[in-house]
Amino acid sequence: MNATYFVPLVGITLMAVGLIGVGVAAWRSHKTQSRLDFIRSLGAEAEVYAATGPPVIERVQTPLLERMFGPARRGLRHNLSRLYPSSDIDRVHADLLKAGLTGSVRAEEFVAVQVGAVMLGIGVGLVALVSGVVSVKTGLAIVFILPMLGGLAPSWWLRHRIKARRDQVTNDLPDLLDLMTISVAAGLGLEQAMQVSCARFESPVCHELRLTLREMELGLSRHDALENMKLRTDIDDLVTFAVVLSQADALGLPIGRVLQAQADEMRDKRRQRAREKAAKVPVKILFPLALCFLPAILIVVIGPIVGPIMHAFHQA
């Protein structure tokens, strides 16, 4: 058999075997939970049939594309998310919670996007390989690289969002604590100080404090609400703030002094982080200087004398 047809055939066979293996593994991983899922689906269907449904006006006001393609999109999202283990979906949900995206993106939707991107990469690579648009080596590289990028790009984006939100919370927490300290010194309680400070300050840390206040309004104690905030954020400064508030509440310490001490400590930490970043600048700027500026300087300095030197060697 000609090598031109043998290599694509082997690649397509390996990809097909891999897809079949992934499908069998996903089926076996979800087989043990099929009965529990069936029981849960019965409860969900009972709730759906028991509901009266939205009024006709609300259904008409729903966008046409959502009414046409909404059920298919939800079914595709559910089927693609089942290819992921439940533990990974829980991990994605925790990451979305840390990134502050739980209100806009569900874990199942994020997982479905990842799986869909991987399948799209595989499809594009196979089409490019079989159609002969690119060479065999390039087609095999596309088959392996595109699915990898499709699976890793959403995770990289989510990690970037988590890091950006973490940095913003860490930088804004001292200023928010100053507002809370002033509010407590003016005679407000801790919950009222949180509410007033969050109303006059926009930051992800205010979003977390609003969730904590909402949990308190729903009946949770202050200690339990602060513990939930620790689990949601997993940010060192915010965890320290929650622990100190819980201890101050349990020991009966004055909240104003505790908040003032926390504000001073957080401000010192922010100053130390700024000094650390400033100390790293000379090391980071060394590589751009060596790669970009140094060759240009050498060309400007040595360039004019290259011609006379070469001319002198030719004459010699």
| CATH (domain of 248) | 1.20.81.30
- For helices 86-99 and 136-185, give the axis angle rounded to 10 degrees: 50
What confidence score (pLDDT) does residue 11 get? Answer: 60
Residues 15 and 149 in one domain: yes
Q: What percent of the chain has pLDDT over 90?
A: 2
Residues 235 and 96 in one domain: no
Residue 159 located in a structural domain: yes
- Residue-wise burial string across 183-218, b where 16 or more C-beta atoms lie within 10 A, e elsewhere: bbeeebebeebbebbbeebebbbbebbeebbebbee
Give the C-alpha separation, 276 to 258, whole Å: 27
Residues 134 and 213 in one domain: no
Q: Where residue 53 falls among pLDDT bands split at 50, 70, 90?
A: very low
> CA separation (Å) from 316 to 96, 302, 311, 312?
73, 21, 9, 6
Give the C-alpha separation, 129 to 16, whole Å: 14
Give the C-alpha separation, 131 to 247, whole Å: 67
Where does residue 201 fall: left (phi above 0), alpha (psi -120 to 50 degrees), or beta otherwise? beta
Q: Is the pLDDT of residue 35 over 50?
A: no
Residue 284 located in a structural domain: no
What confidence score (pLDDT) does residue 67 get? Answer: 60
What confidence score (pLDDT) does residue 277 get? Answer: 87
Residue 84 located in a structural domain: yes
Q: How far apart are the first and last CA of the chain?
A: 62
Kind and range of the H or E run holding 163: helix 136-185
Q: Give the residue among 81, 259, 79, 278 at the shortest CA–CA distance from 173.
A: 259
What confidence score (pLDDT) does residue 42 get? Answer: 40
What confidence score (pLDDT) does residue 8 get? Answer: 58
Residues 179 and 256 in one domain: yes
What confidence score (pLDDT) does residue 87 get? Answer: 67
Q: What is the average per-residue pLDDT within 143-172? A: 88
The domain total for the chain is: 2
Mean pLDDT of the chain: 76
The stretches of 32-135 forming alpha helices (DSSP H) are 34-50, 56-61, 64-81, 86-99, 107-131
What confidence score (pLDDT) does residue 75 get? Answer: 65
Greater confidence (252 vs 41) lies with: 252
Residues 68 and 40 in one domain: yes
Number of residues that this document lists for the chain: 316
What confidence score (pLDDT) does residue 74 get? Answer: 64
Q: Where residue 147 falls among pLDDT bands split at 50, 70, 90?
A: confident
Residues 96 and 132 in one domain: yes
Q: What is the average per-residue pLDDT within 263-286? A: 88
Q: Is the pLDDT of residue 51 over 70?
A: no
Which two tokens mark 197? 């400070």
> Domain containing 176: what range?
166-271
What confidence score (pLDDT) does residue 9 get? Answer: 63
Residues 265 and 236 in one domain: yes
